[in-house]
Amino acid sequence: MQIYKAPIREYEFLLDVFGYDEVMALEPYEAYDREVVSDMLEQGANFFTNEFLPLNKVGDQEGVTYDPKTYEVKTPTGFKELYQKCLEQQMFGLVQNPEYGGGGAPEMLGVIFSEMGTSTNKSFSMCPGLTRGLIESLEAHGTQELKDAYLPKLVTGEWTGTMCLTEPQCGTDLGLIKTKAVPEGDHYLLTGTKIWITFGEHDMAENIVHLVLARLPDAPEGIKGISLFIVPKFTLDGERNPVNCGGLEHKMGIHASPTCVINMENAKGWLVGTPHKGMRAMFTMMNNERLGVGLEGVSLGEISYQTALSYAKDRRQMRSLDPAKQDPNAKADCILVHPDIRRQLLNIKSTNEPMRAFAYWVAQMIDISRHHPDESKREGCDKLVQLLTPIVKSYLTERGCQNTDSAMQILGGSGYTQDWCIEQYFRDLRIAMIYEGTNHIQALDLVGRKLPRNGGELYMAFNEHLSQFIRENKEDEAMKEFLEPLKATSKKLMNATMNLGAKAMEDREEAGAVASNYLNLFAFTIMSYMWCRMVKHSLGQEGKYFKTKIKTARYFFNNVLPEVETLVARIDIGKKYMMDLEDDEF
Amino acid sequence: MQIYKAPIREYEFLLDVFGYDEVMALEPYEAYDREVVSDMLEQGANFFTNEFLPLNKVGDQEGVTYDPKTYEVKTPTGFKELYQKCLEQQMFGLVQNPEYGGGGAPEMLGVIFSEMGTSTNKSFSMCPGLTRGLIESLEAHGTQELKDAYLPKLVTGEWTGTMCLTEPQCGTDLGLIKTKAVPEGDHYLLTGTKIWITFGEHDMAENIVHLVLARLPDAPEGIKGISLFIVPKFTLDGERNPVNCGGLEHKMGIHASPTCVINMENAKGWLVGTPHKGMRAMFTMMNNERLGVGLEGVSLGEISYQTALSYAKDRRQMRSLDPAKQDPNAKADCILVHPDIRRQLLNIKSTNEPMRAFAYWVAQMIDISRHHPDESKREGCDKLVQLLTPIVKSYLTERGCQNTDSAMQILGGSGYTQDWCIEQYFRDLRIAMIYEGTNHIQALDLVGRKLPRNGGELYMAFNEHLSQFIRENKEDEAMKEFLEPLKATSKKLMNATMNLGAKAMEDREEAGAVASNYLNLFAFTIMSYMWCRMVKHSLGQEGKYFKTKIKTARYFFNNVLPEVETLVARIDIGKKYMMDLEDDEF
């Protein structure tokens, strides 16, 4: 049994909270007014619920299959047909460039559609997600010729894309890449093996275009000698390129998403961007990809919460501890009456809502950073996006896994069986803490790259943004109970940031040792800020919906936020006791 | 690839720390001297590593199969043969009564064998685990005739046993049981459906004996009208009893352990114990079962840790942040050099070791409570066992799941694939937070039954035990850095216990709301105490092993223990914000 109803009320609420009007006012987005958006959301919700969701469980159970004779990969029953339906309904390319057939919609809408797609079928949704990364790299760094040849088919989804980074000897450490690219005429011949290639081979589209990191013959060693190429399964003149699937990984989850070994033997490839500058070109599309992965935590947290809530309202076990709440017409009460069930539900609800807000806020800033007429506004938003991206990716996936796990616990034994699919949601989500840069790599990106940049200008921009909000609201008595803990948390973050900066200058291991906990402290500051934004919008409004928001915020500030005490203590301790053991003492 | 080496050095260490000599001195255990024990551990370790471990992954991948025509269940390749080998080697019944063919060994040895069995093959090990529950119930409450007829074959393992409690409408709330038992001659005819019956049907043994909760015709309503029966698959005269498997659950993990629907239609059963007093009889074997389930967290935490450590010593990615630690002969360093990898490993190591100590300490107290010549000593230990059992079950499974999850994260993408089996360990372990009473039910048992008993005598016994240890060691300067945080934590526990007692008298929902966090605070007190016991034993001893123990303890007290700050804050808040939402606000 799968339970899902698209949380459109939440989406509309967040468009209000963050001021979608500001996005709509940007020149390229004018067509997407609120009425258009409402229609789109409703239609999208219907499509995802009716078409994506029914294939979710079958995808998990059948999985993908590989034929070693033909190197072909077969997707589960119905996936090919669903992909065709998506093409017909123009479900892909919503946020892409209209020049190449995209919808030109703001990211702020894109994330909503991503969320619904991932909630209802994560494995399937990964395919267009990856294609998007290719599109953005190509658009930013490809020649006009390559763009004209590939983008129209990629944007509509007729062709799909992959990201070929990892090799057996290197995942996190891409400096160790060995795949070679040798020039031949206007193109290159690529030879090497790539692993973990999502949708590296499948039967849903007529062509697959791989974005490949490789080394030119004269490349310097390490990370500064990597170039970027596209390697299509079929070249533009229809020739089958020797880029083949060599096998599939067998994984904990996302069974319907093929994770391929990709072998290239003198496969034709075309250079994207400048020789040896491939890593930089890759990073241009990382922000969106990482936002997308963070959003997976919200998506599966959402459907898991809905499932657990539905179960809790239906399942009757034990009596309420408060005699007044006991149902006289039954022998037991619905488990929603029990404090611990409510505690677990509220742990999910009170974190998933600000996590969604966080993702949407970042999406809004991406829109502004791209299209605002005022350059300083564009730059200001871009700084925040740079700073916050590793936090979105890491925190939302980590908490999302916890939330999905809590939802499973609410169902007891039923959560552990395949009947309610919660165990699948957990298995499908668990990879999000690992791929697209493990969560600790995100933490190192935050403390090692983002914080020190230009003397800390990114953090200062964040702090100024936050201080401004606090100043603007400090006279509001009703905001006080929420603003105070936000101020206290941001002060803890400020102290930790200063100490970290001082320590890390002397000893980089200190930064590495506390990075993960520091990232989470930062995330709690943002979660508190998100709640304040949502509360601010809800205060004084009529209707239960807004009152619930305020109650949920109170739960967050009183019951969830105390986690920062532990984080602060751990950051204070630093590396001392973890570096104390010799290798053979572990 | 499966990595496992039985941690025999740890077992020997704990036998020293807790004073196995005291157990060995108890009359029935005299044969199990240290030399005998060392031989047994070595032989056991070989058997588990060579026979259990190779079938672990195949069990997960093949799973069990059900034939709806014959109602038969087939276990995975090799399981039947392994079971025969265990019978031949007399692997079952180690701690059982020698009168019925058992080994008569102390629980303190039993837990070591349980740990090794579960580490190497959890699914398989569940079968003898369940049989043991049946044996204990029968031994405590059965007539001599039933005991003589069933126990010899159950103790040796020729026959296996089940526990038939749950029905579709009731898991946690057994008062709702509907299965009927109607008297007929010297026996009863049972009719009803049971679910979640572990090894309810299989092909490894020639007979299966079900322990069934059911209602007599004149039974009072609810929990006080439940009686206990045994219902064998084949009766003693060889007749096939109509107790059949109606299907299998499809689960997240433990795929090689059949979870059966069991249908009885006038199946012959024999009463165990007094009519309507079945629940009380069930509880007599709950302590051991719950200790066994808690131990599952240690077992899979252990094998996951070993796997992650082995990977971390082999896998090379990135450079050490400390130039002095960079390996000049390679392009990248082993990931064990990175602070965050050490942090994650130490989070596991510094909790799994005191968790194991906790389980072994409880096992020792079970031995003493049964066989010590001094009645007050027996009673004192029994009180502690009663109090600590829900904590062992809940905390060890919760932390064990976290630890297994952390180990998976250390392996990155490799942890998510089936190659290293860590994802299987997580899936296999996850049920332990749910079965044998969900973890929150354990917390309610602690705050609702154990704490209030006889004016708090169980908690007072614990507190006196702890205070005595603190008094005895307060002059020891080297112990100070460990004893101080133990004292501070136990004081927080004392405050929380007093406040809880006061609040819960007025409002039982307050107790329900904080029970889970309170249980964890209690657990941290015990973990701190376990570390102090281990440190006390290690101080002043020669050898790296003991120095490592002290370093690991320091990590625990400084980096893990700060979690109590969060728990205390949550306990202080109480039910307020979680009961504030109306049902339709979730």
DSSP state string for A60-89 = HHH--EEETTTTEEEPPTTHHHHHHHHHHT
Q: Dihedrals φ, ψ of B246, to 5°?
A: -100, 0
Q: pLDDT tens digits for A213-241? A: 999 999 999 999 999 999 999 999 999 99
Q: Check residue B233 and report its DSSP letter.
A: S
Which residues in A lie closer than 8 A to residue B336 (C-beta atoms)? 583, 586
B288 falls in which pLDDT band (50, 70, 90)?
Answer: confident
Residues 352-411 of B with CB under 8 A from A: 401, 405, 408-409
Report the percent of chain B where pLDDT is more than 70.
100
Residues 278-337 of A with CB under 8 A from B: 309, 312-313, 316-318, 321-322, 331-332, 336
What pLDDT sits at residue B386?
96
Residue B283 has pLDDT above 90, yes or no: no
Which of B60, B251, B321, B546 to mutate to probe the A interface, most A CBs <10 Å? B321
Is A395 among the domain residues? yes
Residues A196 and A101 reside in one and the same domain: yes
Interface contact flag, B331 A176, Cβ < 8 Å: yes
What pLDDT sits at residue B423?
98
Comparing C-alpha atoms, which of B427, B417, B426, B415 is closest to residue B315?
Answer: B415
What pLDDT sits at residue B504?
85
CATH of the domain at A428: 1.20.140.10
**DSSP reduced 3-state for B493:** helix
Interface contact flag, B554 A566, Cβ < 8 Å: no
What pLDDT sits at residue B280?
85
Please give the positions of A annotated as active site. Answer: 436
**DSSP reduced 3-state for A161:** strand
What is the span of the domain harbouring residue A575?
454-586
Contact B164, B155 (CB under 8 A): no
- Judged by a CB distance cut-off of 8 A, whether residue A544 touches chain B is yes
**What radius of gyration do chain A's Cα atoms show?**
24
Q: How far apart are CA B405 and CA B301, in angstroms?
A: 9
Residues A290 and A275 reside in one and the same domain: no
Residues 78-137 of B with CB under 8 A from A: none
Is A443 among the domain residues? no
Which residues in A lie closer than 8 A to residue B569 (C-beta atoms)? 562, 565
Pick from B176, B249, B547: which is nearest to A417 by CB? B249
Residue at which a domain ends, from A228, A262, A283: A283
Residue at which a domain ends, from A258, A283, A308: A283
Q: How far apart are CA B470 and CA B362, in angstroms?
A: 19
Residues A101 and A235 reside in one and the same domain: yes
**Six-digit token pair at B492?**
């927080």
What pLDDT sits at residue A498?
95
Interface contact flag, B251 A332, Cβ < 8 Å: no
Beta bridge mates, B74? B65
Residue B286 has pLDDT above 80, yes or no: no
Q: How far is B430 from chain A (nearest CA, A)?
A: 8
Residues A216 and A322 reside in one and the same domain: no
Cβ-Cβ contacts under 8 Å for A424 (sequence gap 6 or more): A56, A57, A60, A253, A418
Sheet strands (E) in A357-398: none
- Judged by a CB distance cut-off of 8 A, whether residue B339 touches chain A is yes
Each residue's pLDDT, cut to its tens digit, for chain A (586 residues) gives: 899 999 999 999 999 999 999 999 999 999 999 999 999 999 999 999 999 999 999 999 999 999 999 999 999 999 999 999 999 999 999 999 999 999 999 999 999 999 999 999 999 999 999 999 999 999 999 999 999 999 999 999 999 999 999 999 998 899 999 999 999 999 999 999 999 999 999 999 999 999 999 999 999 999 999 999 999 999 999 999 999 999 999 999 999 999 999 999 999 999 999 999 999 888 777 778 999 999 999 999 999 999 999 999 999 999 999 999 999 999 999 999 999 999 999 999 999 999 999 999 999 999 999 999 999 999 999 999 999 999 999 999 999 999 999 999 999 999 999 999 999 999 999 999 999 999 999 999 999 999 999 999 999 999 999 999 999 999 999 999 999 999 999 999 999 999 999 988 889 999 999 999 999 999 999 999 999 999 999 998 999 999 999 999 999 999 999 999 999 999 999 999 999 999 999 9
Residues 239-278 of A with CB under 8 A from B: 249-253
Pick from A349, A548, A586: which is nearest to B349 by CB? A586
Pick from A433, A443, A570: which is nearest to B559 by CB? A570
Is B16 among the domain residues? yes
Is A447 among the domain residues? no
CATH of the domain at B185: 2.40.110.20
Contact A170, A177 (CB under 8 A): yes
What pLDDT sits at residue B50?
98
Contact B248, B254 (CB under 8 A): no
Is A118 among the domain residues? yes
**DSSP reduced 3-state for B563:** helix
How far is residue A29 from each of residues A37, A92, A99, measured CA to CA in Å? 11, 17, 14
Is B137 among the domain residues? yes
Is A273 among the domain residues? yes
Interface contact flag, A509 B339, Cβ < 8 Å: yes
Interface contact flag, B322 A509, Cβ < 8 Å: yes
Which residues in A lie closer than 8 A to residue B554 (C-beta atoms)? 577, 580
Which residues in B lie closer than 8 A to residue A576 (C-beta atoms)? 558
* Other Cβ atoms closer than 10 A to B208: 27
- Return the amino acid letter for A388: L
Q: How far apart are CA B347 and CA B240, in angstroms?
A: 52
What pLDDT sits at residue A405?
98
Q: pLDDT tens digits for B209-263? A: 999 999 999 999 999 999 999 999 999 999 999 999 999 999 999 999 999 999 9
Comparing C-alpha atoms, which of B400, B366, B536 is closest to residue B13?
Answer: B536
* Other Cβ atoms closer than 10 A to B180: 17
Q: How far apart are CA A273 and CA A296, in angstroms?
A: 30
What pLDDT sits at residue A261?
98
Separation of CA B253 from chain center: 17
Comparing C-alpha atoms, which of A51, A134, A53 is closest to residue A100?
Answer: A134
Which residues in A lie closer than 8 A to residue B444 (C-beta atoms)? 340
Pick from B169, B317, B322: which is nearest to A172 by CB? B317
Q: Judging by DSSP bridges, how do beta strands A159-164 and A207-214 pair with one another? A: parallel
Comparing C-alpha atoms, which of A64, A77, A78 is closest to residue A247?
Answer: A64
Residues A509 and A407 reside in one and the same domain: no
Interface contact flag, B250 A418, Cβ < 8 Å: yes
Q: Which residue has the tokens 């969060």?
A: B566
Which residues in A lie closer than 8 A to residue B433 (C-beta atoms)? 409
Separation of CA B436 from chain center: 9
Q: How far apart are CA A212 and CA A189, in angstroms?
A: 12
Cβ-Cβ contacts under 8 Å for A22 (sequence gap 6 or more): A364, A368
Residues 176-205 of B with CB under 8 A from A: 176, 196
What pLDDT sits at residue B529?
98
Interface contact flag, A416 B251, Cβ < 8 Å: yes
Tell me the angle at which helices A457-473 and A508-538 cross, rounded to the nearest 10 degrees. Answer: 30
Comparing C-alpha atoms, which of A250, A561, A574 is closest to residue A399?
Answer: A561
Q: pLDDT tens digits for B344-395? A: 999 999 999 999 999 999 999 999 999 999 999 999 999 999 999 999 999 9
What pLDDT sits at residue B316?
95
* Other Cβ atoms closer than 10 A to B428: 29
Which residues in A lie closer than 8 A to residue B326 (C-beta atoms)? none
Q: How far apart are CA A220 and CA B263, in angstroms?
A: 70
Residues A279 and A309 reside in one and the same domain: no
What average pLDDT does chain B have? Answer: 96
Residue B172 has pLDDT above 90, yes or no: no
Interface contact flag, B566 A570, Cβ < 8 Å: no
Comparing C-alpha atoms, which of B464, B445, B564 is closest to residue A340?
Answer: B445
Which of A440, A441, A489, A554 to mutate to probe the B interface, most B CBs <10 Å? A440
pLDDT mean over B562-572: 97
Cβ-Cβ contacts under 8 Å for A336 (sequence gap 6 or more): A309, A312, A313, A342, A345, B583, B586
Which residues in B lie closer than 8 A to residue A322 (C-beta atoms)? 507-509
pLDDT mean over B137-160: 97
Residues 35-54 of A with CB under 8 A from B: none
Q: How far is A393 from chain B (nearest CA, A)?
A: 15
Q: How far apart are CA A127 and CA B262, in angstroms?
A: 43
Which residues in A lie closer than 8 A to residue B251 (C-beta atoms)? 416-418, 423
Which residues in A lie closer than 8 A to residue B331 (C-beta atoms)? 175-176, 222
- Judged by a CB distance cut-off of 8 A, whether residue B512 touches chain A is yes
Q: How far apart are CA B113 and CA B111, in angstroms?
A: 5
Nearest residue on chain B to A309, judged by CA atoms? Answer: B586
How far is residue A433 from each of residues A230, A392, B106, B202, B400, measured CA to CA in Å? 27, 11, 43, 38, 19
Beta bridge mates, A232? A209
Q: How far is A348 from chain B (nearest CA, A)?
A: 10
Q: pLDDT tens digits for B528-547? A: 999 999 999 999 899 999 99
- Judged by a CB distance cut-off of 8 A, whether residue B548 touches chain A is yes
Nearest residue on chain A to B336, judged by CA atoms? Answer: A583
What pLDDT sits at residue B282?
82
Contact A416, A311 (CB under 8 A): no
Nearest residue on chain A to B325, judged by CA atoms? Answer: A509
What pLDDT sits at residue A389?
97
Which of A342, A423, A435, A445 to mutate to probe the B interface, most B CBs <10 Å? A342
Q: How far is A563 from chain B (nearest CA, A)?
A: 5
**DSSP reduced 3-state for B167:** strand
Is A3 among the domain residues? no
Quote the number of domains for chain A.
Answer: 3
Helix H or strand E encompassing A91: none
Please give the positions of B annotated as active site. Answer: 436
SS (H, E, C) A517-564: HHHHHHHHHHHHHHHHHHHHHHCCCCCHHHHHHHHHHHHHHHHHCCHH
What pLDDT sits at residue B171?
87
Interface contact flag, A558 B573, Cβ < 8 Å: yes
Which of A223, A249, A251, A317 to mutate to probe the B interface, most B CBs <10 Å? A317
Which residues in B lie closer than 8 A to residue A580 (C-beta atoms)? 551, 554-555
Residue at which a domain ends, from B252, B283, B314: B283
Residues A315 and A205 reside in one and the same domain: no
Q: How far apart are CA A154 and CA A129, in angstroms?
A: 12
- Judged by a CB distance cut-off of 8 A, whether residue A508 touches chain B is yes
